[in-house]
Chain A
């Protein structure tokens, strides 16, 4: 089954404790992206990757890091989480940015 998986689905952590949210896709897509969803703001792009070892900032990259060492994986790293990063995070993949994007189920992060 074609899918995008994210782990964990729910995470509660404390300020400053480094965390990684994993994202994996099994569709051999070149394009992958991270979004955060906040009430009243829709989805905003954090980072994206056009291919292995090619990443770039989206609209709200501050406080986040990503890496793309393999085509299927695109982890999101918060080295020092803060409460303003409490949000619902979605990973997405696609053949290219102009094509349909397939979204993962989301990771709800709470930083206290």
Chain B
């Protein structure tokens, strides 16, 4: 079945550090890929998405590139801020009417 694997957290960084959160997937067909972010006490919000191979999704300084050859969709940001502290979820959709989520990676950014 479809699955998403994310690096375990928490990831603790200092402000302005470079961020990478790894995400790999297993899926039949050609899924769409998403990153969602969950701030403390809130629901999930779509951060970025990519719908086909080699697409790059970007938003708020975050980027992720859909790599079909390595089945990956790693999230990156060049300079994190304290306000980026949240839980990040990688997800895929193969069109079977459900998102399949990874287990989430907690990011803590220290001043």
Interface of A toward B, CB cutoff 8 Å: 4, 31, 33, 35, 40-45, 48, 50, 56, 58-59, 90, 92, 97-98, 100-101, 103-106
Contacts and interface: CB of A to CB of B under 8 A. Distances in A.
Contacts of A4: 43
B103 A42 contact: yes
A104 B89 contact: no
B95 A103 contact: no
B97 A56 contact: yes
Contacts, number: 53
Contacts of B44: 43, 90, 92, 101, 103
Given A90-B44, A97-B93, 7 more contacts: A33-B98, A35-B101, A42-B103, A43-B89, A45-B99, A92-B43, A100-B46
A50 B96 CA distance: 11
Interface string B89-110: 1000101111101111000000
A101 B4 CA distance: 18
Interface string B35-52: 010000111111001000
22 contacts: A4-B43, A31-B97, A33-B98, A35-B101, A42-B4, A42-B89, A42-B101, A42-B102, A43-B44, A43-B89, A43-B99, A44-B101, A45-B99, A48-B98, A56-B97, A97-B95, A98-B95, A100-B46, A100-B49, A103-B36, A105-B43, A106-B43
Given A42-B103, A97-B98, A103 B93 contact: no
Nearest to A105: B43
